Chain A
Amino acid sequence: CLSVSSPRSAGSIHCEWREFFWNPRTHELMGRTATSWGLILLFYLVFYLFLAGMFVLTMYIMLLTLDDYKPTWQDRLTTPGMMIRPKGDQLEISFSVSNTESWDGFVQNLNNFLSPYNDSYQVQTNDNCPPDQYFIQEDSGEVRNNPKRSCQFNRTMLEECSGVSDRFYGYSRGEPCILIKLNRVIGMLPGKDGQSPYVTCGAKREDSDKIGRLAYYPPNGTFNLMYYPYYGKKAQVNYTQPLVAVKFLNASVNTDIYVECKINSNTLADGNERDKFAGRVSFKLRINDK
């Protein structure tokens, strides 16, 4: 590799590359000597440490400006989302009545989900609040009124869908229960004049004759006002999210039913068109009889 002056050829290009990686004459690795590499790496190390320091500092200052109990902005949460349980990978409740395995997962899911709602546990941790009015626990000035207490939502309030009387939540009989919950939003007041928001479900478009009769638990499918407002995870550690159960009493079998449930409230705005889960929730129900 010494013939630098010789004309370029395939061999010398290969040679150039090899020399670029390690030049034995100048002791250069990739075109730099050890000192040169050392200096540049040291520079970048110091430089990046400084940048990291600066970033941490700005982040720290930013975090200082945040409130521990309430996020700075909630304007994206004006309409709370709604969600159903049980939930698989998709929002699809599809099972065969006769095939236990097809609904066993749903039942397990509901069992797990409802375990914190066991009456014994609720009574132990939460208060029995006066219904149909907000359970307001204001802080007095600078002094925080923490931890805040929460109201009981007992599993038995779901009656037929509590899993107490019917271990299989009606799935074994083709009368499945679906639990509906309203997303938690700190400080949200979902009703006024003592009127609690309630859930109504209906079929979409042509499925209306297939959906059959529905039963709502608690009665009228209400989210009682006493569960609001929510004070956040830090202040209200034991908050229990209220639920509404919908039981499909005689839905058509062997057919896809597109169900949409929505919240009816006199304070919450209708969600925007694009968000299919703000103030409403849609899912597919299919009950096979075999």
Chain B
Amino acid sequence: WNTESKPNYGRSDSYRVATTQDKDDRSPKKKKGAATKDMDDLKKEVPITEHKMSVEEVCRKFQTDIVQGLTNAKAAEFLIRDGPNALTPPPTTPEWVKFCRQLFGGFSILLWTGAILCFLAYAIQAATEEDPAGDNLYLGIVLTAVVVITGCFSYFQEAKSSKIMESFKNMVPQQALVIREGEKVQINAEEVVAGDLIEVKGGDRIPADIRVVSAHGCKVDNSSLTGESEPQSRSPDCTHDNPLETRNVAFFSTNCVEGTARGIVICTGDRTVMGRIATLTSGLETGKTPIAKEIEHFIHIITGVAVFLGVTFFILAIILGYSWLEAVIFLIGIIVANVPEGLLATVTVCLTLTAKRMAKKNCLVKNLEAVETLGSTSTICSDKTGTLTQNRMTVAHMWFDNQIHEADTTEDQSGASFDKSSVTWIGLARVAGLCNRAQFKAGQDSLPILKRDVAGDASESALLKCIELSCGSVRAMRDRNKKVAEIPFNSTNKYQLSVHETEDPNDNRYLLVMKGAPERILDRCSTILLQGKEQPMDEEMKEAFQNAYMELGGLGERVLGFCHVMLPEDQYPKGFAFDTDDVNFQTDNLCFVGLMSMIDPPRAAVPDAVGKCRSAGIKVIMVTGDHPITAKAIAKGVGIISEGNETVEDIAARLNIPVSQVNPRDAKACVIHGTDLKDLSQDQMDDILRNHTEIVFARTSPQQKLIIVEGCQRLGAIVAVTGDGVNDSPALKKADIGVAMGISGSDVSKQAADMILLDDNFASIVTGVEEGRLIFDNLKKSIAYTLTSNIPEITPFLLFIIVNIPLPLGTITILCIDLGTDMVPAISLAYEAAESDIMKRQPRNPFRDKLVNERLISIAYGQIGMIQALGGFFAYFVILAENGFLPSILVGIRLNWDDRSVNDLEDSYGQQWTYEQRKIVEFTCHTAFFVSIVVVQWADVIICKTRRNSVFQQGMRNKILIFGLFEETALAAFLSYCPGMDVALRMYPLKPTWWFCAFPYSFLIFVYDEVRKLLLRRNPGGWVERETYY
């Protein structure tokens, strides 16, 4: 399935959901048809229909029995037919393929081409000359070695992070309780087949997609599938056409939180909803990373320059009368000389360093190239649950004494507190603590309250923790008020009550406490507790209640009402037998105490991180499976919908006009419901993404998340997706960079992602963006630095060909520069601090802001490189002249100079030289040229530190860079002076004065570039900037 080339008609239809068949028969490409169709199929909504069937029909369909379950024979038969109930693991790439990808991917191609050309040139020489120079052979070998070594390096680097990945997988085999031939048996979850009757209870993982046939207070946590943070109750009735919404289907790999249920397996393995998503994910093609595209563009430029130079000088050589073969060798030599041998290693090391730095800040990068992607990101599609929020219901607000109080929802309890002295609050806390079945699991006393595990429903846990935090031990409270009777929550009553003895041993009355849906609770109340005094519930109070209820509900919070009553002792004396089945006690005329509302609160660092993203020009879109109101509330809470921005609905409500009359352009924010998304055409979708800066998608299916990501990409955005659930994984995979959560994330999502936030903190993304942008800038500098020395490396060869002077710089010395002295300074630029606040500028435009552009080439090759070349040539001429060969006799001397049989070559002073004697001088020139390049590269690395600022503004705080300067100088001195180098590398000791030849040129580079940057800063947007700012 291919986004780029295929015409788009009909595609949006195919997304359009659910049960409709794919009507249009698009088959211009029949060959691809099968695979394409598969993917399109997967993209459609879930095709489950069993939820609409009656239990009998389901039984018939699967040839099973509602009491006895499958027979063992049938089960075995189905197991053979359908295969084991397990997800097909995504096709893992064999290690050697991964290795080859490192060896032959991207930049390596350039070096391979160079190496092959070298071998070709050597072959030509070997075939035509008696005693071929080994240079081309050595160069070919070195190039090959460089590619192989760098390939191994990055292969092991990635292998390391995939090892960390593997440690995430937990391989505990899952068990399932099935009923076969009337007997309950515990079997391996993999052996479950369609038609099996299975039982699940609180704490179990659901082993397959099941159609519930009976349930007792069963709740499942669907958050990894749909993103809803609240557990959903399950019952045998079909409540919705959409299988994902209906109550009578429970899904593979979701968790049963409480209660028990019995159901018939309807899908297993890859056919489950989860399996389809996983298959969809692994089938998605992902595009190239932005940095890979940049490197490709860079290779184009370099190849262009190389071929241009090569062909020009090939023609020149022919004109100058060289033979065809010689000219071809020159052509190859020039092309190969343009290959920056060290750059591959430099780029790899720079990316690795950043990846390490990010790993330290809890961003684990799976793929080296993804390091930069976050920096280019222009849109972040973030999942809500678990990423933006804590994935933990927490009491957020309370309403008592006719006033809304805010509870502390922060993770570290640093938030605001409310007045806890009110008598009403004590009453409310008592109701919430007593009428609550949740309790802390044993053995966690040392943990902070918020970190403790709780057995029970999410909202009860929230209440428990809230009360424990503000009133001390709930257990003690419960001990003091012994429970006498209890009616658990059910969906018809919509309340829960319990009867307790009072704390006061002298008071023999019973205390009845009740909580439930606020409107139901209110109906049962005749009084209300205000400042500790019972007052009659009048219309005014009812309205106040309604307002509070509306307000809290509008915040996307789940609201519960609480009430209590002291049962009169005369009617309910001590020892009264409370019958909970046939209620024999008072359940109305109660006293209303207050409301408490809960929400999965945003993580503390998120609003700040969202703000930073926004100031960095990154659009943050929330995509969640949760309800629009909750989503909108969280979006407002974290700043995804910023203060003062309204949706169409908000404007309509404010102006009191129908939604249809509002100009959608007036609303910057919008909340889009999944069901509306289904009906949108591609154009409408683009329109929404383009015209709204603050978007929330609610109730979205995994497939829709994918459509949203594709929509953003269609508009040219580089999209990052964060998520933790299986439902996010297709989007994670499709995104330019998928970011999964290390702690809460599902394996599937981590598998699909490129980056993992080890601390699950959205704020770490900001770090990632910052590091990514920095490395992009710094890679530019590194490349500018490395490319510059290409000119002083090529020009000697060109002049050697054209004006027939002795070769000023040899292959070995070129390699010493590219793979020796240039390396550390180039890498040190990766440590360079940002010039300005990189989080305050817009994300780079991938079409305009290239890693390497003509301006960089112009500066590096046309300007700085030329100065460097002159520096090198100056040293060359100085050495030859001081040895007796004045520049005037050098031109045209090459034929005799390189002739081994001429051993009495005359210099300008009349002295005569043997071949070896003058070669030593020539090699000394190579050494001096090499040293000169080191000297001019000092200046180059200093000017490359900044692209706009002066070095005096930037400072020399980059210690690695300073080390690099000393290192390259020491290396150059070592290569020149170490005894034995004359034999090993043909490098000779230099007279001290020869070191200083290039100094004026080094100085010129520094001054020239400072002046250029000064002009650049003085005239923003001026000619200098247009022509030289890279």
Contact = CB atoms under 8 A, between A and B. Distances in A.
A272 B919 CA distance: 14
A165 B1005 CA distance: 68
Contact of B867 (A51, A87, A185, A186): A51
Q: Taking each of A77, A87, A185, A236, which has the highest tally of chain B beta carbons within 10 Å of its own beta carbon?
A: A77
Interface in B873-926: 873-874, 877-878, 881-884, 886-887, 901, 903-904, 906-917, 920-921
Nearest to B917: A76
Given A47-B863, A62-B874, A54 B1004 contact: yes
A186 B912 CA distance: 9
Interface in B282-312: none
B166 interface: no
B863 A81 contact: no
Given A51-B867, A76-B920, A66 B882 contact: yes
Contacts of A48: 866
A82 B1027 CA distance: 58
Interface string A40-78: 100110011001001100110011001001111110110
Given A183-B911, A184-B910, A233-B910, A83 B917 contact: no
B901 A71 contact: no
Interface size of B as a range: 35 or more
B991 interface: yes
Interface stretch (A133-141, A155-163, A250-258, A273-281): A273-281
Given A71-B909, A76-B920, A59 B874 contact: yes
B713 to A, nearest CB: 15
B955 interface: no
A82 B904 CA distance: 7
Nearest to A67: B909
Contacts of A168: none
A71 B906 CA distance: 13
B941 to A, nearest CB: 21
A116 interface: no
A167 interface: no
A164 interface: no
A277 B914 contact: yes
B870 interface: yes
B828 to A, nearest CB: 28
A63 B910 contact: no
B901 A87 contact: yes
Nearest to A47: B863
Given A62-B881, A76-B921, A277-B903, A232 B912 contact: no
Contacts of A69: 909
B866 A239 contact: no
Contacts of B903: 81-83, 183, 277, 281
Contact of B904 (A59, A181, A274): A181
A181 B912 CA distance: 11
Contacts of B882: 66, 71-73
A54 B866 CA distance: 12
Contacts of A185: 911-912
A72 B879 CA distance: 10
Q: Taking each of B882, B884, B920, which has the highest tally of chain A beta carbons within 10 Å of its own beta carbon?
A: B884
Interface size of A as a range: 35 or more
A90 interface: yes
Contact of A39 (B878, B887, B904, B1023): B1023
A25 B1000 CA distance: 46
A47 B884 CA distance: 32
Q: Taking each of A40, A48, A277, which has the highest tally of chain B beta carbons within 10 Å of its own beta carbon?
A: A277
Given A55-B870, A184-B911, A234-B909, A89 B916 contact: no
B910 A230 contact: yes
Nearest to A233: B910
A268 interface: no
B901 A81 contact: no
Interface string B229-256: 0000000000000000000000000000
A91 interface: yes
A183 B901 contact: no
A50 B709 CA distance: 54
Contact of A278 (B877, B887, B917, B921): B917
B862 interface: yes
Q: Taking each of A71, A91, A185, A272, which has the highest tally of chain B beta carbons within 10 Å of its own beta carbon?
A: A71
Contacts of B917: 76-77, 81, 275, 278
Nearest to B988: A76
Contacts of A54: 870, 1000, 1004
B915 A277 contact: yes
Interface in B981-1030: 991, 1000, 1004, 1023, 1027
Contacts of B874: 55, 58-59, 62
Nearest to B914: A81
Contacts of A236: 910
Nearest to B884: A71
The 9 A-B pairs with the shortest beta carbon distances in the complex, nearest first, are: A233-B910, A81-B914, A183-B912, A275-B916, A71-B884, A72-B882, A277-B903, A277-B914, A83-B904
26 contacts: A39-B1023, A43-B1027, A44-B862, A51-B870, A55-B870, A58-B1000, A62-B874, A62-B881, A63-B886, A66-B882, A66-B886, A70-B909, A71-B884, A71-B911, A72-B882, A81-B904, A91-B901, A183-B912, A183-B914, A186-B910, A186-B911, A232-B909, A233-B909, A239-B910, A277-B914, A278-B917
Interface of A: 39-40, 43-44, 47-48, 51, 54-55, 58-59, 62-63, 66, 69-74, 76-77, 80-83, 87, 89-91, 181, 183-186, 230, 232-234, 236, 239, 272, 274-278, 281
